[in-house]
Amino acid sequence: IPVDPFDLVIFGGTGDLARRKILPGLFRRFIAGQMPANARIIGAARSDMDSAGFRAMVAEAIAEFGGMESPPQAKLDAFLKQIHYVAIDARGEAGWAELQELMKGTDKIEAYYFSVAPALFGDLAERLQQWGMADKQARIVVEKPFGRDLETAQALNATLATYFDERQIYRIDHYLGKETVQNLMAVRFGNMLFEPLWNAQYVDHIQITVAETVGVGGRGEYYDKSGAMRDMVQNHLMQLLCLIAMEPPARFDPNAVRDEKLKVIRALDPVLPHHIIRGQYDADHDDAEGHPNYRDAVGDPRSKTESFIALKTQISNWRWSGTPFYLRTGKRMSARSSEITVVFKETPHSIFAEDAGQHRNVLSIRLQPNEGITLGVTIKEPGPGGMRLIDVPLDMTFSEALGEDAEQVDAYERLIMDVIRGNQTLFMRGDEVEAAWAWTDPIIQGWEARGDVPKFYDSGSDGTTEAFEMMRRDGREWRKVA
Ligand code: NAD
């Protein structure tokens, strides 16, 4: 179903994110028939080029990152006709009159995607208003990072609020655009089966792991000022934690959902220093490709920035008091994998022999790769061997459960279509972002005050030995990263 006619201006349209995700994603929506014929995509960036040059760049980006064997030429040509470019300076006057002219007098939905360095977010908002493009129907899409602490996030929220209402601001966290994230809500709130068990009485603990195999790559300078806590935990892992732990909202409505998420963040206990482990990747000594260790990669032999975090936290409310939440994320780990795992308690009493092989139920929600949800269930091992028990997965992996043609939509394209539809459910509200920083700030300040130095872990491993010890002390184990 096509969305309503729109004009989408992508500030930073020539940048890395636009070329890898936004533009190829829009092309896939075009092929799916979702983009109306009179919709326009307008690249706006500092690079000096014209619309023809930008179209050539878009075609290249689609060929490289579109994930299609060979994009159908006729479709590609038709898509490119809807693309335009304005060379613009977010901080100066160049290009604004031209953009204003392009956007004048349309009654389409207007969306402005800020895919530029965060230092320019405020300038763009201000310029849009000066040039008469910040009317009450306009929407702005804001990339991460949203501040680097509570103070900067509040300042950014205040700047954006000068020019736009909260209902016009779409703060992107692409983790929320994953199919499985929405399916998590469907599974929790669309079935009778799970919600009665979804609490401290039946859940032993919950783990959230976001593991990457890549290192800091070319982003070393940026990353070293940020670290895993700011870059991953404060936003992506916190958002996943909220969705898994929140109370059922009264309606599936953007503010009802976000109200419940906010309550989770506000109920989080402060993290004790011995419940948070920081790591920094060392080189992998068997690595034939010779990837550098973290400090070489960022060019600072004394860097104290973490590329790995493992932490334990609690949610102090009736539902969760007593159930620990373990969060873990890192670079250069053994596999690329994002997974939420709900580990249920043992049955109160086992009627089977001690060595029969009874397992706990484990519900695992995978965001990547192989998005899907699996529930481990204990059954009898088939055959004449007596009452032997095995754990079998009830598999809700989408490609298997729904067939090969189950539509795979990338997070960015889904979220952009939500912007056009005016649905903010999967976007972070300003107060959520601030509450997440209010929880994160004291942790980071504590490290700074103590001069804390992260421990090393081998590239290709799953983090520091201290992270494993923290789990072992609690009589639990991290799930294998795979
Ligand atoms: P980039 O450096 O590749 O591109 C920056 C873009 O901004 C270019 O198009 C450039 O022309 C434009 N630009 C720079 N200064 C300008 C100015 N004064 N006026 C107008 N345009 C100007 O950056 P990127 O990697 O594409 O990142 C864009 C945003 O997305 C950042 O906020 C980043 O944090 C965020 N982000 C990027 C990624 C990613 O994978 N690249 C992932 C998540 C979030």
User: For every residue of 390-411, which 3-state class applies, written as one string?
Assistant: EEEEEECCHHHHCCCCCCCCCH
Q: Are the C-beta atoms of residues 20 and 122 closer than 8 Å to each other?
A: no
Q: Cβ distance 279 to 307 under 8 Å?
A: yes
Q: For ligand 1, atom 38, name the residue with the nearest CA.
A: 17
Q: What is the 3-state secondary structure (H, E, C) of 436-471?
A: HHHHHHHHHHHHHHHCCCCEEEECCECCCHHHHHHH
- Ligand 1, residues 9, 16, 41: which to mutate, most atoms within 8 A of Cβ? 16
Q: What is the mean pLDDT of residues 215-241?
A: 95
Mean pLDDT of 228-241: 97
Ligand 1 pocket, residue 115 CB under 6 Å: yes
- ipTM (interface pTM): 0.98
CA dist 442 and 437 (Å) reads 9
Rounded to whole angstroms, how far apart are CA atoms 283 and 264? 38
pLDDT of residue 191: 95
Query: Which contiguous run of DSSP H or E holds residue 343?
Result: strand 337-344
For the residues 265-283, what does the mean pLDDT come to? Answer: 95
User: Can you list the pairs that 153-158 forms with residues at least 24 positions away whose Cβ atoms lie under 8 Å?
Assistant: 153/433, 153/434, 153/437, 154/434, 156/118, 156/121, 156/122, 157/430, 157/433, 157/434
Tell me, what's the pLDDT at 68?
A: 82
Report CA-CA distances (Å) from 126 to 109, 131, 171, 280, 407: 20, 9, 17, 39, 39
Cβ neighbourhood burial of 282 (10 Å; 0-12, 13-18, 19+): middle
Indicate whether residue 143 lines ligand 1 (CB < 6 A): yes
Q: Cα 460–462–464 angle (5° rounding)? A: 110
CA pair distance 280, 456, nearest whole angstrom: 5
- Determine whether 349 is an active site residue: no
383 is in an annotated binding site: no
For residues 158 and 166, what is the distance between their CA atoms, to the nearest angstrom?
A: 10
CA distances from 14 to 40, 61, 102, 122 (A): 16, 10, 19, 20
Domains of the chain, with CATH numbers?
6-143 (3.40.50.720), 176-473 (3.30.360.10)
pTM above 0.90, yes or no: yes
Task: For tokens 């670079």, name the residue.
Answer: 331
Segment 355-376, tens digit of pLDDT: 998 899 999 999 988 888 999 9
Q: Is the CB of 123 under 6 A from ligand 1?
A: no
Q: What pLDDT does residue 435 have?
A: 98
Distances (CA, A) of 57 to 15, 80, 194, 359, 449: 11, 10, 48, 54, 47
* Ligand 1 center to 44 CA (angstroms): 11
Supply the pLDDT for residue 37. Answer: 94
Helix (H, G, I), strand (E, B) or coil at 272: coil
Q: Give 392-426 pLDDT, tens digit per residue.
A: 999 876 655 555 544 557 899 999 999 999 999 99
- Dist CA 179 CA 409 (whole Å): 8
Which residue type sits at 473?
Answer: R
For 244, which DSSP code? H
pLDDT for position 289: 74
Q: Which of 236, 285, 291, 349 is catalytic?
A: 236
> Is 77 marked within a binding site?
no
